[in-house]
Chains A and B, each alone.
Chain A
């Protein structure tokens, strides 16, 4: 008898985050260019204020900055970054004062240069 039948709920398949597979190259590159990115709290304030609903965090996630071994591949999602208006609201609301506009530009440059086609 499976757990599903026994208790009325089931358990997910075992999932594992293999840290050996994490590709930090893009993150390292961007951190070099925008050192303040290191202090991101992942608080999401940028996403909340973004007029096009991406936010710096959204862009970073779309480009797969954090965990490249997930299913985000090749050119990341340049469309999401191209949507950015560089209006700078995210920079104003950011509690850590990250230079989000520069981050967006550098991220886009990396995507264009195919630096993250892994």
Chain B
């Protein structure tokens, strides 16, 4: 039997062993970096259906990259061909070598360099040989086609449907170059071997015979295999220091996530795992509105994660992210990018001293509905007046909770990383809400709505955004609406649509009120006024808002309708069409009922605010 060893395999083996040891250490450190509860979640989850689900997800996402296909077909094909194609090469190579050597356990380099060891006369061509060679050639061609896309993408991202791609660090560039070299050199090495032995299939066989006709191919075999082993070795040696850590890390992340582990301050191991799982693919760059508003500002998640991972400092970028969540939505790895950002913000202890506001006294009535305007709504009095009209028109038993404008939901503090302050505001408000005994909480601010939904514990209390409430009233025929002429487009606030999944209700209201709904099909845009970015300058904010406006008004609506006082404030000064809140349009469209006369003064105010 021919020897299954040659010195060139050492280069690959050294690199691979190094990465293997690194990975084992990392998995241990990730696991023990979890909090006790999270560790228990993992250990208890292993023997459940979740493991199988995670395995399916690993195949679906790590090999087939299904989520990237949603972003673009060519981009998805590029990622899939590299991941799935390479995996199949490894798998078929392994089966082939096991078939011929009849050894289940053998050094890993035997199957990696199988075509080299296979060449000798001691392995007579079996009936299977052409079959194996064909499939190996097919998948090699598959990988090479994806590689061509990858190389073109680096210089012309538009070819795969991306506007921009990540600017990489030097180690990443070295690793990407060695990755690019792996497959062409493999093709040359296999072709040379096949040419010398007269084996191989349509790809390696034909290139091999061509090479044999031109050059003394026998003398080229070993140099090519040395080169192949070298690039593999370099790639694996560089892997722990580059973005390619995502290859093994993402699988671990999927398992942990399936077992129910989530980002938290108590589990630094999971945070580190998340940082290692980012592939720097750059899909978040195109999703980010700032990359169009100010291309020089590298706040996108790929850069942010990199600065956290290599501890290079964020250079102010941590304060410039709008936290709209578009990147989180687009991330093919499914990283919790927004919580990750907030964990990285310094807690300066703001909001920890509660404001010296006198406790709200009950006026003796027991309202069923509590209206929470939110501080931003107080800058848009038209919304409050409209809500008053709507409540009265529907004969609701309601009470205005923050008429003094001095209650805070805590979300602005949360978005600025001031966790202690946010918790304290939440506790205070929770107690005050529950003391009223109301069964429904309606808020006009999506920012407040999100934290009420996500963090507040309000047993027995339904929480609605006013667009949902209006929709219910219309459905129950508690409001009578006059159909209005003209068309309207809905601007979906980040916190409401993407954040809380309130998508259909406002659209239904719009379709009831206006003759035509000309909302363009797009993923919710940020208005630029976001509370997430304390450090973003007004010029960039305006550029973000202008970009959003131009996309929203593409079908020339008569009105731009939104459900967020912040969005309204941001759009009003720059919008070519009137910007109105959904409560204001509803109030203006109400059928006037003489028997329930409304205060003429409030009605006048409402009408004044509606263009």
Which A residues lie at the B interface, using CB under 8 A? Answer: 34, 36, 49, 51-53, 79, 81-89, 92-93, 97, 99, 101-102, 104-105, 108-109, 112
Contacts and interface: CB of A to CB of B under 8 A. Distances in A.
Contacts of B569: 92
Given A88-B531, A99-B534, A109-B348, A82 B353 contact: yes
A34 B569 CA distance: 23
Contacts of B349: 82, 108, 112
Contacts of A97: 537-538
A99 B416 CA distance: 13
15 contacts: A49-B379, A51-B378, A52-B357, A81-B350, A82-B351, A83-B356, A84-B350, A85-B412, A88-B412, A89-B376, A92-B379, A92-B566, A102-B534, A105-B348, A109-B348
Contact of A105 (B379, B534, B537): B534
B405 A105 contact: no
Contact of B350 (A34, A36, A89, A108): A108
A85 B379 contact: no
Interface of B: 319, 346, 348-357, 375-376, 378-379, 405-408, 410, 412-413, 415-416, 418, 421, 425, 529, 531, 534-538, 566, 569
Given A51-B407, A83-B351, 8 more contacts: A51-B375, A82-B353, A85-B355, A85-B375, A87-B412, A89-B375, A99-B536, A105-B346
A79 B353 contact: yes
Contacts, number: 96
B531 A102 contact: no
Contacts of A109: 346, 348
A52 B406 contact: yes
Interface centre among A49, A99, A104, A109 (most CB of B within 10 A): A99
Nearest to A79: B353
A85 B425 contact: yes
A71 to B, nearest CB: 22
A50 B357 CA distance: 13
A96 B379 CA distance: 17
Given A36-B537, A99-B536, A86 B416 contact: yes
Contacts of A105: 319, 346, 348, 350, 416, 418, 534
A64 B529 CA distance: 29
A102 B421 CA distance: 16
Contacts of B406: 51-52
Interface centre among A36, A87, A108 (most CB of B within 10 A): A87
A88 B532 CA distance: 10
Nearest to A96: B538
Contacts of B355: 51-53, 83, 85
